[in-house]
């Protein structure tokens, strides 16, 4: 079964450094998402992406964050200047087609990247 792939599985970065988290969504999916889960807490929405632009973002997704789909297969999340509080598990997810609130299409999640800021 096709799956969402995230790399690396664990990233350790010095505070203030830039980090890029990579995701390869399922190939025929059109909607892409990033979520964050601070250790022991709930999963929080960061951003959704469709048709090569951000469709929605949360308050967490400030100017330090950016997303892009550089080559039609990868979907990346960049944090420009990392802070200690950016330490979390970051999940990429994708959905196949026109997202309908009537649809039973689940979001397919990757296994996550654990980001540790030192």
Does residue 90 touch other proteins according to CB under 8 A?
no
> 17 in helix, strand or coil?
coil
Q: What is the Cα–Cα distance from 17 to 33, expressed in whole angstroms?
A: 23
Does residue 31 touch other proteins according to CB under 8 A?
yes
Supply the minimum distance, in Å, between the C-beta of residue 81 and other proteins.
Answer: 26
Does residue 60 touch other proteins according to CB under 8 A?
no
Per-residue CA distances from 104 to 41, 46, 90, 96, 107 (Å): 26, 22, 24, 11, 9
Q: Contact positions toward other proteins, by CB under 8 A?
A: 31, 33, 35, 41-45, 48, 50, 55-56, 89, 91, 93, 95, 99-104, 106-112, 114
């Amino acid at each position: 079964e096709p799956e969402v792939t995230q790399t690396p599985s664990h990233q350790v970065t010095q505070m203030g450094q830039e980090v890029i988290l990579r995701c390869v969504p399922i190939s025929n999916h059109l909607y892409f998402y990033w979520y964050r889960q601070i250790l022991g807490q709930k999963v929080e929405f960061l951003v959704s992406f469709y048709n090569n632009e951000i469709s929605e973002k949360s308050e967490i997704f400030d100017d330090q964050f950016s997303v892009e789909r550089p080559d039609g297969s990868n979907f990346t999340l960049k944090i420009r200047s990392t802070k200690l509080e950016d330490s979390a598990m970051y999940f990429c997810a994708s959905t196949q087609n026109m997202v309908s609130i009537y649809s039973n299409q689940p979001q397919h999640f990757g296994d996550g990247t654990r980001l540790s800021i030192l």
